[in-house]
């Protein structure tokens, strides 16, 4: 580990020196006076922090994409709860399962196009939870009435039974609870859980414990194979 860190540091140090001296050569070859070179050098020095921050942001973004691709190592098939304020980790796990070969179905309060764009997901079946009057199937997703849990469960079951080895992600659980009540949503989850087990698949549910009653969240968690 120490040798790896040393190697990484030296590679970065070498790259920095090369960049700096290349800039010096460029400026010197353009016939600037010593005064002009001094001013330009000071300007370059003043922007170093900005350039470093820019590179750090870029690396963080690339690391985020890599995390999204690598996460998803779930030991056993079944239903899992992801406690998070906003759906994020649940999609990283979902992405990992898709990479492993699972068929994907996304059920979300967020529009499917936005989900795909943000988490760099491949094309999957998608259901958008919306009370819009434009119901039915669009070019890239279905629109489902979030108050009709029976129909929603039916669509998920149909997908699960189409071949097994599926990964279903649910984002917007609190939204469903606000419209249908916890008892109805619990029955909905229990139904999906049973079908997931029978069809050797995965169910990933994003939920914010802080936005739910503690007792209700605990009851929901007990229905799951585990929490991620």
- Same domain assignment for residues 61 and 141: no
Question: pLDDT tens digits, residue range 120-130?
Answer: 999 899 999 99
- Same domain assignment for residues 149 and 43: no
How far separated are the first and last CA of the chain, in Å rounded?
A: 29
Give the separation between CA 215 and CA 186, rounded to whole angstroms.
12
Please tell me the predicted confidence (pLDDT) of residue 44. Answer: 65
Helix (H, G, I), strand (E, B) or coil at 136: strand
- Of 67, 86, 120, the last residue of a domain is 67
- Same domain assignment for residues 109 and 215: yes
- Same domain assignment for residues 125 and 186: yes
Give the separation between CA 71 and CA 53, rounded to whole angstroms.
26
Segment 224-228 long-range contacts (CB within 8 Å, at least 24 positions apart): 224/78, 224/79, 224/80, 224/81, 224/193, 225/76, 225/78, 225/79, 225/80, 226/78, 226/80, 226/81, 227/80, 227/81, 227/82, 227/83, 228/74, 228/80, 228/81, 228/82, 228/89, 228/90, 228/93, 228/204
Please tell me the predicted confidence (pLDDT) of residue 65. Answer: 47
- Same domain assignment for residues 142 and 31: no
Domain that holds residue 162: 75-227
Question: Which segments in the chain show pLDDT lower than 50?
Answer: 1, 63, 65, 67-70, 72
- Same domain assignment for residues 188 and 81: yes
Q: Residue 102: which CATH number?
A: 3.40.50.300
- Of 48, 67, 86, the last residue of a domain is 67
- Same domain assignment for residues 32 and 88: no
- Of 67, 87, 116, the last residue of a domain is 67
Give the separation between CA 124 and CA 99, rounded to whole angstroms.
12
- Same domain assignment for residues 108 and 164: yes
Give the separation between CA 84 and CA 80, rounded to whole angstroms.
13
Q: Number of structural domains, the chain?
A: 2
- Same domain assignment for residues 147 and 87: yes
Question: pLDDT tens digits, residue range 6-59?
Answer: 667 777 777 777 777 777 777 677 776 777 667 667 766 766 766 666 566 555
Q: Look at residues 95, 129, 126, 91 and name the one whose alpha carbon lies nearest to residue 109.
A: 129
Please tell me the predicted confidence (pLDDT) of residue 139. Answer: 53
- Same domain assignment for residues 41 and 86: no
- Same domain assignment for residues 31 and 95: no
- Same domain assignment for residues 215 and 125: yes
């Amino acid at each position: 580990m120490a040798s790896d860190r040393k190697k990484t540091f030296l590679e970065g140090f070498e790259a920095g020196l090369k960049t700096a001296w290349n800039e010096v050569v460029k400026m010197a070859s353009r016939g600037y006076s010593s005064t002009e070179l001094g001013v330009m050098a000071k300007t370059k020095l003043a922007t170093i922090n900005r350039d470093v921050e820019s590179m750090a942001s870029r690396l963080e973004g690339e690391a985020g994409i890599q995390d999204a691709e690598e996460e998803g190592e779930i030991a056993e098939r079944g239903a899992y709860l992801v406690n998070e304020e906003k759906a994020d980790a649940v999609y990283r796990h979902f992405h990992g399962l898709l990479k492993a070969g699972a068929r994907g179905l996304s059920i979300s309060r967020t529009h499917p196009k936005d989900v795909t764009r943000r988490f760099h997901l491949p094309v999957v079946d998608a259901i958008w939870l919306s009370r819009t009057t434009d119901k039915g199937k669009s070019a890239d997703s279905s629109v489902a009435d979030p108050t009709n849990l029976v129909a929603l469960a039916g669509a998920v079951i149909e997908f699960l039974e189409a071949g097994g080895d599926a990964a279903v992600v649910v984002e917007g659980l609190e939204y469903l609870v606000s419209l249908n009540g916890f008892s109805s949503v619990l029955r909905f989850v229990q139904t999906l859980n049973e079908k997931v087990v029978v069809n050797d698949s995965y169910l990933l549910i994003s939920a914010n414990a802080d936005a739910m009653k503690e007792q209700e969240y605990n009851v929901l968690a007990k229905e799951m194979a585990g929490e991620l």
